[in-house]
Amino acid sequence: MTQHIRRIAIAAAAVVAAVTLAACGGGSAVQTVDPATFATQVQTPGVTVVDVRTPAEYASGHIQGAININWEGDFTSGIAKLDKTKTYAVYCHSGNRSGQATQAMADAGFTHIYNLDGGVINWTTAGYSLVTN
């Protein structure tokens, strides 16, 4: 009888794990990508590009079409205005703040997020440009 109870416990644990994975989508909402992949996402219709640097950094040069939601400012209220079901391409200077920001977005229920590995440092090193308008 002990073996029977053990099998039931293992089966129950498997069901709980499967339900948990299904509820969470089975994977991470955040994908950290290289500049070439990020550039493809930036050009994809419907993708919102988010610069999480300070307003001064944003003004000094940002990716074309990006909106500025300062990670060091009121980031939580800034992302609260966004549609959690849309796709976002997020970056900062080096990848540190965007890593934190994309995790915060995932924790808040956003489901499709691209994080630029290495930030604008890697972006410009790869030959992509920034704008100042």
Active site residues: 92
Q: How far apart, in whole angstroms, are the C-alpha atoms of residue 89 and residue 51?
A: 9
Beta bridge mates, 67 = 50
Q: What is the token pair recorded at 84?
A: 């959690």
Pairing of strands 30-33, 47-51: unpaired
Contact indicator for 41, 89 with CB cutoff of 8 Å: yes
Contact indicator for 50, 69 with CB cutoff of 8 Å: yes
**How does DSSP assign 96-124, residue by residue?**
HHHHHHHHHHHHTT--EEEEETTHHHHHH
